[in-house]
Amino acid sequence: MAAGPVLCVDLGNTRGKATLVEPGEEPRLLHAGGASELVAAVEHALGARAPWRVVVAAVCSPALAVEVEQALVAAFPSCAPVHPAHGLRLDVESPETVGADRLLAARGALELVGSSAIVVQVGTCVTVDAVTVPAVAEPGFRGQFLGGAIAPGPELLAEALERGGARLPRVEPDPEASALGRDTPHALQAGIGVGLRGTIRELVLEVAREAGLESAPVVLTGGARAFARAGLVSLGRAVHEDAHVVARGMAAELLRGAAS
């Protein structure tokens, strides 16, 4: 059976995303927001058209994941949701502890750039990971995941500062904040925005160095990726910014299997 549109549902810690990935076309975002409205939004966007396959990746609570999957079954009874395969060899000490979102982003980066890469996701957390394409192809594997680093994202930093300081206000993180804050709220925004930009930049440099990927391109994704953009551009290396990296990774093995 020829491959058709793959509906990729990514349930994160703070929101859900539904993206349609079709062979030969750019991914199309159908919904980004509350998980409870996700299935209704997808049905509205697709109309009478049903997806060829549905894949679900979840780092949210198990109860929410089950709720969304049941709603997807009811909406699209001809294609029960499956969990995506990443097709990567994991060169890490505890493979079972690596989050699916990191692995799927790594696989999506390979689909996007076709080469080894440093993968940066900026959302609730920041992850900076290394993925390589082996010199000799290995059956069943598209690439090799080498691991990386995890740091708090902008919202977590804002929450931590408010909780940790008795007189510190909660501020809205701003990727454009200047370093010279003229009052406490702006100083907090500086610490979050400028500090996070520097953190991500340094992690990219060190992860790339330790992985032997100093010249590899950077793939940037995630809802808060604006916090990393300026710092990565200043590195003077290729940066590919794409909102659909995880969705590309979710659909990759299904589409690859259909093409073989």
Catalytic residues: 101
Computed from CA positions of residues 220, 225, 227, 233, in that sequence, does the dihedral angle turn out positive or negative?
Answer: positive
Hey, is 131 helix, strand or coil? Answer: strand
- CA-CA distance, 250 to 6, in Å (whole number)? 9
H or E stretch covering 29: strand 28-33
Alpha carbon of residue 75 to chain centroid = 26
Burial level of 235, CB count in 10 A (0-12/13-18/19+)? Answer: middle
C-alpha span between 185 and 182 (Å, rounded): 8
Structure tokens at 76: 């699209």
Q: What is the DSSP letter of 88?
A: E
Buried b or exposed e, range 168-179, using 16+ CB within 10 angstroms: beebebbbebee
Q: What's phi and psi for 44, nearest 5 deg?
A: -65, -40
CB atoms within 10 A of CB 3: 18
Closest listed residue to residue 125, CA positions, set 79, 182, 59:
59
